[in-house]
Chains A and B, each alone.
Chain A
Amino acid sequence: GAVVSQHPSWVICKSGTSVKIECRSLDFQATTMFWYRQFPKQSLMLMATSNEGSKATYEQGVEKDKFLINHASLTLSTLTVTSAHPEDSSFYICSARDGELADTYEQYFGPGTRLTVT
């Protein structure tokens, strides 16, 4: 159990365009989902935390108008990178917390999406 999927697994887009990444919890209800970015040879950097039905909480330095997060249901969160630039090229990973497990804070990770902006 506790499977999280991400789509697409990789995407190449042109500078100035927008890209949407989907994150789904397949066998549990994810009341909280997290979006991370990871540059080569660096650790995970939390971008934002989203709770179903409410606005996402962005980490300091992350532009909320550039990285649009929508957590419309208990199984789906989307991250849209708007007006992408080459410096946005990175590995984007989502994770989810099982809302029915009150005492556990384990995050289940999706397989990641590699974004390349040309």
Chain B
Amino acid sequence: GQNIDQPTEMTATEGAIVQINCTYQTSGFNGLFWYQQHAGEAPTFLSYNVLDGLEEKGRFSSFLSRSKGYSYLLLKELQMKDSASYLCAVLDSNYQLIWGAGTKLIIKP
């Protein structure tokens, strides 16, 4: 079966750095997405990785290792507004998005 694992909840301090991990086992791989979702709102796109390595975009970076079936989202200089759920999703061989359950990130002052 297809499976995506990410921690259910994480807590971090304002101004700090946090890394949210995602491991996956899917039928084929055509890329991995990270989305941010605030409570009661729709997800918004953060990043897309299809090749191994680190993609940096401002305070957010995303890393992919296809051989390990592993990705992480790195958030730097955390702000209170970063409190949200972070969803990992993999595009499988049929170009269908397989979603993880999401990681709820709580930022404390």
A contacts, CB < 8 Å to B: 34, 42-46, 49, 91, 93, 95, 104-112, 114
Contacts and interface: CB of A to CB of B under 8 A. Distances in A.
Contacts of A108: 45
15 contacts: A34-B97, A43-B87, A43-B101, A44-B87, A46-B97, A93-B43, A95-B42, A105-B31, A106-B33, A106-B45, A106-B48, A109-B43, A109-B44, A111-B42, A112-B42
Contacts of B99: 43-46
Interface string B89-109: 001000111011110000000
Nearest to A111: B42
Nearest to B102: A43
Contact of A105 (B41, B95, B101): B95
B30 interface: yes
Interface of B: 30-31, 33, 40-45, 48, 87, 91, 95-97, 99-102
A107 B97 contact: yes
Contacts of A114: 40
B43 A44 contact: yes
Given A44-B87, A105-B91, A106-B48, A112 B33 contact: no
A33 to B, nearest CB: 13
Contacts of B45: 106, 108
Contact of B101 (A42, A49, A109): A42
Nearest to B4: A43
Nearest to B101: A43
Contact of A110 (B40, B42, B102): B42
